[in-house]
Amino acid sequence: MGVLDILTSLSSEEFEKYVADYVLPVLGLRVHNVVGGPYDRGCDIIAEDTRFGSRVCVQVKRYSPERKVTEKDVRNVLFGMEQHRCDRGLIVTTSDLNGPALSLARQYRIDYINGARLARMVEEQLIPLVMPKAVVAAVHQEEGSHEAVEREVRDDGVFIPLGVTNAVEVARAYLKSKGALHPQLGGVSALLKRLYVFKAKASYKLGRRRSEEAVISVDAEGEVYEGVPPLINTVNFYVEYETSREDYYSAREIAIRYITSRIVPEGAQDIKIQLKNHALAWVAALYAIRFKVGLVDVVVHVDKKGRVVKMERGRLTDDLVRGAYGGEVVRGDGYKVRLDQGNFVEELKLNEFGEVVARARAVKESYAVEVASKFFGIAGEDVRYKREGGAVKVDIFLNGHHHLAKVDENGEVVDYVVVPDAEIYEGFEKGYNIRMRALIVKTVEDGEEVVRVVTSEGVVDEKRAKRSLLRKIGSSLAGLVKKSEEYSIDTADPLNLI
């Protein structure tokens, strides 16, 4: 049973009161008085806009979907605005406006809330819903005639073991535990099952004839409550009803067993249990809480004890992702989206709901080369590059030197150095020292082993040792150099210097 089903089941007076008590305050309107009736002169309710101080004439129409608000109804609002000296007009209906009525309302700027918008407001704003007697009576009739259900039994409302706010928090926490970042509440509905309240009388013999009386309640799931739990007649969520004859008979059996075990003392004989219906109500057995999470709709089902029993999630598809973010959709360990941003590429990592959980920006290799060339003021054709995360290392070889630059994800040069190429120097071992960011060249000259440190400015340091001395101490200059971090050869690739 939907929101509009419940609202259209109210009487005209009940619906007017519902709009005045629950709907208008959500719109920022404070009710001055409820006029209503055949002599309302076009305004059912006179209200004041608390934000702008304007006086509002409200016309309330509880119509079935087939019956539409007419042009005459709109003219009545215009008449009511004049009669009650109102600045604005508002129509609230469970149905809709027909074509001429809609045109006239727009012409005179009469606001309106049709059935679809009203139902959406109730669900999204958690506006309370009144439990109409007509709906309750219809459900009673569907149950059939129970032998113990007497005509005078009334529906005493709904028992809420778990408040809707708590249920929403349970559902929200559950979604957060599943990686959801920003679950947006869409609405709440509850499955109402029967709550049978019995007045029991137990008589038995224990020395003499004795009797005890008690009131107990049993819900459709077989849970027993002593006495009558607190019942309410207004709820702030969409409701669906579930009932059956089997539930009633099962509840009676449970009540009899409970009375026998809890009230009748041990050793009693000739036990007789009489049950009389004391009240007939409902219990909010299960909430279905709707969220919009990222790109998908999610429903979390929370039972009356605050346990999540099920989560239903809409399917995340390539089309959904592409429609939301554009770019290239990549599937692997979850979803990723690559966005082309001119000289840059941004990669979005999505969770299972389609929310962005991480962003990584990267400079394109071609642009990094362009930036490095402009930085050094050169244009070499012999170019290498290596990606490092979102940055790119560029090596422009020109005139025997490597012009090295690291271009970060924002297209900025964050590190650079110029070093000579190893091939232009002779030596038995050559390579680069990362700490000094220089070329190390090892040679043998005049019986001595020589280590030279070479930068773009030429040889900046030199170390010599006689080979005969090295042989006497059972070592070599190569061994000494390897042990010396200062003169070590760490890499053959100059790109590793930045």
Instruction: State pLDDT tens for residues 1-60.
Output: 578 888 888 888 889 999 999 999 999 999 988 887 666 678 999 999 988 899 999 999
Residue 215 pLDDT > 90? yes
User: Which pLDDT score, from 0 to 100, does residue 125 have?
Assistant: 80
By three-state DSSP, how is residue 447 classified?
Answer: coil
Over residues 461-474, the mean pLDDT reads 61
- Between CA 302 and CA 278 the distance in angstroms is 29
SS3 call for 373 = helix
Reported confidence tier of residue 137, pLDDT bands at 50, 70, 90: very low
Per-residue model confidence as pLDDT tens digits over 420-465: 999 999 999 999 999 999 999 999 988 888 999 999 999 999 988 7
Domain 3-125 has CATH 3.40.1350.10: yes
Least confident range from 24-33, 150-159, 196-205, 461-470: namely 150-159
Total length of the chain: 498
What is the pLDDT at residue 37? 66
The pLDDT of 50-71, averaged and rounded, is 94
Helix or strand or coil: residue 456? coil
How far is 202 from 389, CA to CA, in rounded Å? 79
Phi–psi pair at 474, nearest 5 degrees: 70, 35
CA torsion angle 199 132 299 303 (round to 10): -10
Tell me what pLDDT residue 131 has.
64
pLDDT at 107: 95
Mean pLDDT, the chain, as a whole number? 88
Paired tokens of 221: 């799931």
Mean pLDDT, residues 166-174 taken together = 96
Stronger pLDDT, 180 or 467, i.e. the higher one: 180
291 with 171: CB under 8 angstroms?
yes
Q: Tell how far CA 160 is from the center of its chain.
A: 25
pLDDT of residue 471: 43
User: What is the pLDDT confidence band of residue 86, given thresholds at 50, 70 and 90?
Assistant: very high
Which phi and psi angles does 92 have, rounded to 5°?
-120, 120
pLDDT exceeds cutoff 90 at 318? yes
User: How far is residue 393 from each of residues 125, 363, 404, 421, 494, measured CA to CA in Å?
Assistant: 54, 11, 7, 17, 10
Q: Which of 351, 31, 334 is nearest to 177 (CA)?
A: 351
Residue 347 pLDDT grade (very low, low, confident, very high; cuts 50, 70, 90)? very high
Give the pLDDT confidence score for residue 392 in this predicted structure: 98
Starting at the earlier edge strand, list the strands of the sheet with 458-466. 429-433, 438-445, 448-455, 458-466
In eight-state DSSP terms, residue 20 is I
Task: Indicate the pTM of the whole model.
Answer: 0.63
> Which residue, 313, 311, 357, is CA-closest to 335?
357
Token pair, residue 359, equals 């962003």
